[in-house]
Amino acid sequence: MEVKILMFAVLAEQFGGSSLLVEVAEGATVADAIEIMTDGEESKKKWLSPDRVAVAVNQSYCGRDRVLVAGDEIALIPPVSGG
Amino acid sequence: MASDAIHIETGLVAGPVAVTSMSWPGDCGAESIFVGRTRAETHGELGALLRLEYEVYAPMAEKLMDAMARETAEKYDGRAVRMMHANGPVGLGEASVVIQVATPHRGEAFSACRYLIDRLKHELPIWKHEIWEHGRTFVEGCCAHRDTNSQANNSPCVSDDHARRTVSKTSNTEGITT
């Protein structure tokens, strides 16, 4: 099934775009989708470490153990700086 | 207090924001207003700050702003809450965020305003880009709020006072002539 991943600010710059589509298996989690989008490369994974990047699915914050369904929109949220 | 008596207004604006008169609740004697403005700064290598540009994950930010405003009204007996944030360029001295809270008495109004700006800074998916004379930087402030008990998500937020800057790979050619 296909899910959409959105990236913002420094992540969009590092990954060369603000969105991409990822094919994941049924029952996959957010963590699985992140693993696929980084191809398991440490240089990419370091930008997405859980201690600095929060995740949201369908506009709500959640954990990376969240199970995905087809069409979900995952947002990778680097440290925020509103205000 | 009936919930339908509470006036809530939140939203994103494509540029600077401004204070406006709220629909005034007759039983309120206090309105507290917070305005966040672009501060003039000089970067050691990139020169003077020209403006900020805000990037926003709009659908999520709009939902969160409405929820935060309603929770603030509930927590502080607020009868009117207005919170607007810029989504786009904001020049020096211009306002990027406005918060207005009306309550029966002043104590709650001050507290509610502080509570709301602190939550905004910790939770809203908004990113500040600094446009200098000779380059761009990202401001990395708070590790965003997590509403989960997942073990991977228990890291503390970074204080606003310790915000980091990351220099953008994109050079700022337009800035030099602005």
Domain of B48, CATH number, reads 3.90.1170.40
Alpha-carbon gap, residue A79 to B79, rounded angstroms: 32
Domain that holds residue B29: 3-145+155-177
| CA atoms of A37 and A57, how far apart (whole Å) | 16
Quick one: pLDDT at residue B48? Answer: 98
Q: What is d(CA B53, CA B96) in angstroms, rounded to the nearest whole number?
A: 9
Q: Number of folded domains in chain B?
A: 1
Tokens encoding B140: 């990395």
**What string of pLDDT tens digits covers the 178 residues of chain B?**
444 579 999 999 998 999 999 888 889 999 999 999 999 999 999 999 999 999 999 999 999 999 999 999 999 999 999 999 999 999 999 999 999 999 999 999 999 999 999 999 999 999 999 999 999 999 888 877 644 433 333 333 444 444 778 887 765 544 332 2
| Calpha distance B115→B136 (Å, rounded) | 31
pLDDT at B165: 81
Going from N- to C-terminal start, the domains of chain A cover 2-77
Residue B150 lies in a domain: no
What gap in Å lies between CA B101 and CA B84, rounded to an integer? 12
Q: Which residue of A has its CA nearest to B163?
A: A81
* Chain centroid offset of residue B176 CA: 28
Contact A50 B153 (CB under 8 A): yes
Candidates B125, B143, A74; CA nearest to A66 is A74
User: B144 to chain A: which residues are within 8 Å by CB?
Assistant: 54, 61, 77, 79-80
The closest CB to that of B148, out of A10, A62, A77, belongs to A62
Instruction: Closest CB to B55: pick one of A8, A51, A83.
Output: A8
Token pair belonging to A1: 């099934």
- Please give the structure tokens belonging to residue B14: 């494509």
- The predicted model scores a pTM of 0.88
- State yes or no: pLDDT of A22 exceeds 80: yes
The pair of three-digit structure tokens given for residue B48, joined into one six-digit string: 């003077």
What does DSSP say about strands B164-167 and B135-140: parallel, antiparallel, or unpaired?
Answer: antiparallel
Least Cα distance to B32 among B69, B68, B82, B70 occurs for: B82
Superfamily the domain A2-77 falls into = Beta-grasp domain (3.10.20.30)
CB hemisphere CA count around B175 (13 angstroms): 22
Nearest CA in chain A to B63: A59
Enclosing H/E stretch for B17? none
DSSP B142: B
A52 → chain B, closest CA residue:
B143
Q: Are A3 and A70 in contact (CB under 8 A)?
A: yes
